[in-house]
Every structure is written in C-alpha cells, then in structure tokens.
Amino acid sequence: MRTRTKAVLWGFLFLATIVGAGIAIGYFSGGYRRFFALVGTIGFRQWLVLGAVTALFYVLDYCRVYTLFALQGIRIGAATGLRLTCVSYFVSSLTPTAELNIPALVFMLRGQGVAVSKAIAVFLVKALYITFWLLLFGLAGLFVRADVRLPPALAEHLFVAVAPAIFLLAVFFYVVFFPQHVLRWTAKRMNLDAPLNWRTRLIAGLHRSVVAVSELGQSTDRMHLLSHLSCIAFLFAYVFLGAYLCRVLGVPMPADKAVCVFSVSLLVAYISPVPGSIGISELLTSYLIDPAMTENGMVASSLLRFLCSYLLMIPGAIILLDAMRAAGWRQLQRKWQGASHD
C-alpha cells in the first residue's frame, strides 16, 4: 500500500475512533455535564496524589528504557528519556498497530549516535517485557477473581484476542535463547561483496538486531533485573492510579481486584486493534470495574486513560515535529535510508 494512501486511511480511522470514543464515553457517563460534575468532586489534595503517581508512572517508563540501554553501555539521560516517552505516547495513538512507534523513537536517537539495531532491540524488548507481565498478572487475575468478568463476546474469544501477543512472546523467547538458528539464516543471505540494496540492508539489520535482542534477553547484569522490576513497578503505578480514582469517585475497589482489573486494562491498551486503544480501553475498563457501566466507573476509567496516555500526546507531537523540522524535511528520507548502514 502506498504511503500516502495508508496515511489517509490512518487519519480517517484515527478521527473516526476519537468521535466514536467521545460519543460512547459521554453516553455511559450520563453526558459531559455529569462527567465534569463528577470530576469536580475530586479535591485538591487528591489531585496532588494523582499528579505525583502519574509523574512516577512516566518516570518508570523512562527507567524501562534506561536500564535496557545501560545493558548495552549506552546512557540515556533524563531529558532524552522524557522526550522519548512523550513521542512514544503520541505516535502509539496514531495507528492500530503502533507501527510508527519504533521508527519515530529510533529517529529521535539518531543525533546521539545510537546504532539503529541497538535502539530497535531496546524498544522491542521494552514492549515485549511489559506485555509478558501484563499477560501474567491480568490472566492470572481473571482466573482468581470470579467477580472480574470480561464482556461475554470477548470472554468467549479470549484466546483469539491474546493469541497474537502470546505468539510474539513465543517468537521473542525463541530469538533470545536460540538466536543461532536465525543468525545462520541471515548469514547465508548476507553477501558483503554485493552492492548495497534494500534487501541486503534489511537482512544485515535483522542480523544485528537479533544479536542485540539475544544479548539483552540473556544478560545476567543487575540492570536486567532492574528492567523487569521497572516493568512491574510501572504496572503497579497504573493499578494504584486506577484504584485511587475509583476510591475518590465512590466506587468500591479492593486491592486484589484492582490488580486484575487494571492489569487487563493496560494489556488492552497494548493489544487493542484501534489507534491507541482510544475508547476501547475506557469502555472495557469501565465494564471491568462494574459490568453495570456506572457513571462513576466510566469517569474513573476515562481519567485514568487521560493521565496515563493522552496527557503526553500534545507534548509528544510538538517534540517530534520540532525534531523533524531540525533534521530538515527534505533530508528526512535520506536520514532514514542512511540509518540502515549503522
């Protein structure tokens, strides 16, 4: 599919998703006047708590990046980490598969001399590690907590819904622990004496990325443990925010139920087939909180999504567009082509 046609389709789907989400959220919250009336019941001190934990949530996202790059001997400063986090949350919301996420983040690091293969490996591992922990906590919670139920249509096809994520994790662990099988395949197809073309660059890039992913996954450095701990802490910051919002809005939410509800909620945000899981996450989270789809539950789920996703979209757009402007619009394509030589 041509890039321009794909961009038009993405744009249409993105706008349709926003409109549909806006209508659905307004309906289940009793209208936006009622929505903002409920938001107004949250006190100043409660907003301070929400703000502090939201900041921690994004700091932990940076920690997940920092620890993985540290395993490769690369230091990502806090300022760069904040820029990467903002851009990540912006571009991940534009397409159903978040396929712009890794290219945009790699582009953001080009000026710092980070090899493309190493950057790709970090961002792949980062996404797959959190997916693993979300599946573990979310699916375990669904079996343990009988009072947390998925919508019937989704519950009947739960395996189909999570199968792509499980498949990607299986491929990932295979590459981590048995990289030699993939490396033999790429080595046979790399002809270093042949002229460089897109096929040669693609295979060479795949070869280097497999090496980098395997080294990260097999590392015994303490930073590797800290990377997993950052994932778990990241998840529990999200769980705390969801549970606290329910509490301040008068929705009962025991701690063990909160772990299940909001692990599944964050998992949906990663695997939903719509741009950024906009609308889908809010509706499903509200259902998990209470299948009656109460107004308070919908407001809690919507505020959670705003704090943990939409809050950084505008800063992310500004940062990415500024980086593209600085690189030069006409030279941008040349930079992407040159990236394959790293």
Tokens linked to 93:
């919301």
Among all chains, which residue has been given the structure tokens 């189909």? 160
CB distance 91 to 98 below 8 Å: yes
CA dihedral sign of residues 275, 107, 307, 34: negative
Name the pTM for this structure: 0.88
Which one has a higher pLDDT value, 58 or 115?
58
**Residues in CB range of 225: below 8 A, 6 or more apart:** none
CB 74 within 8 A of CB 290: no
Name the residue with higher pLDDT: 35 or 337. 35
Six-digit token pair at 101? Answer: 């996420």
Q: Considering the chain, what is the average pLDDT of its residues? A: 87
Torsion sign over Cα 170, 227, 234, 289: positive
The pLDDT of 328-341, averaged and rounded, is 52
- Residue range 79-130, pLDDT digits in tens: 999 999 999 999 988 877 677 888 899 989 977 888 888 999 999 999 999 9
End-to-end CA gap in the chain: 27
d(CA 35, CA 18): 17
Neighbours of 268 (CB within 10 A): 22
Name the nearest CA neighbour of 117 among 9, 210, 252, 6: 210
